[in-house]
Structure 1
Amino acid sequence: MSRLVLASSSRYRRQLLDRLEIPYQWAAPDIDESRREGEEVATLAHRLALSKAQAVAADFPGHLIIGSDQLALFDGDILGKPGDFNTACANLRRFSGRKVSFMTGLALIDTQTGRHRVVHDTYHVWFRALSDEEIENYVSRDQPYDSSGSFRMEGLGIALFERFEGDDPNTLIGLPLIRLCELLREAGVNLLGNHRGNPQGS
């Protein structure tokens, strides 16, 4: 049984973690993701990432638990998932020709030692000037209703952008792999060792 656990039901995060070719399990955390009054964005990202890992930690003694949570930021607002066609189109009209930032909190809990680390990574995207026709065609094709930025970076969303700025484009999808690799190495995981295996859900 693998020692690594991803505290997420997101298929996108699982696809990213698959790239490391290290065996892991995943479990869906159940937490309240509401923002507290006066809570800073970075504090919120850290709290949610750690809370997700803590939510499943009791079920996995002696494991390394990964928690991650992404926030999309625009004009001082934290954006939720659009949920439907009209909201996604409205968001992209707001973003046209503008910058949107994505902050992803990342936590790693070692339930064997009780230690944990929490970091975050921020990535910025500049949208092209988009016509209504382009926006509606994109949303119809990619249906990014469960993505806080109203686009899928791993899909056709790449056609929306003018440029990026940041260290790790995986942050856009919700799991900053460069920072995760750093945390795993600190926890003693040999990422380039021989540890092939298949992920398992719970």
Structure 2
Amino acid sequence: MHQSTTLILASASPRRRELLASLGFPFQVQQSNVDEHVSRELAPEQIAETLARRKAQAVAGKLAAGLVIGSDTIVVLNGEVLGKPRDEADACRMLSSLQGQEHLVVTGVAVVDAETGRTECGHSATRVKMRPLSEQEIKAYIATGEPMDKAGSYAIQGIGATFVERIVGDYFAVVGLPLYLTAQLLSRFGVSVLK
């Protein structure tokens, strides 16, 4: 592998697109559209990595060459995995349980070589403490629409940032693509951020 390798992001997320673009690589975007159901028996890290790998492999399977990057973010509160909310009531339930609590955000990243099938995978775990929220704040936040396609029903890079008291770990992992981990995985294929 060398610098001219085609990179493909297996995600329609504008946040992941912006983060990958910040590394300076040219890349293409292809949405994966995979089944995101996994066994709840798996550890959170395994769930995030499994889904990231599934997304990258789904796109890589349609290509002759290139490196495909897949990523998946989950929120874990007291052992319960919180995905994207089904509806406003589900978002309200999630935010009500997260408010005033510390939770874990786990983002898995997988890089798949479409030509050989070789896969490198990893995850980043970040602790997030959310301040206490009133019922009115939760309802007003849901009314903005921002929580509806986000794991755990909040966006740390949006209005949801005003609820986050502190984080311990990788901010970019909470947004959806840990840049340190992504760069490390790409380097295993000979792709470097610095030429």
Among residues 88, 104, 107, which one is paired with 1:104 in the alignment?
A: 107
1:121 aligns with 2:129: no
Among residues 30, 37, 40, which one is paired with 1:34 in the alignment?
A: 37
2:144 corresponds to which residue? Answer: 141
1:200 corresponds to which residue? Answer: none
Match for 1:184: what amino acid?
A: L
1:43 corresponds to which residue? Answer: 46
2:192 corresponds to which residue? Answer: 190
Check whether the contact 1:53–1:108 (CA below 8 A) recurs between aligned residues: yes
Matched residue of 1:30: which SS? coil
Matched residue of 1:38: which SS? coil
Q: Per-residue deviation at 1:108?
A: 0.8
State TM-score, norm by structure 1.
0.87
Q: Percent identity?
A: 38
Matched residue of 2:184: which SS? helix
2-structure distance, mates of 1:20, 1:71:
23
Q: Per-residue deviation at 1:142?
A: 5.1
Q: Structure 1: give runs of 5+ residues left out of the alignment.
A: 194-202
For residues 101-122 of structure 1, the C-alpha deviation after alignment (integer angstroms, 9 at most, x for no partner) is: 1111111112344422110111
State TM-score, norm by structure 2.
0.90
RMSD: 1.8
Q: Per-residue deviation at 1:90?
A: 2.4
Match for 1:52: what amino acid?
A: K
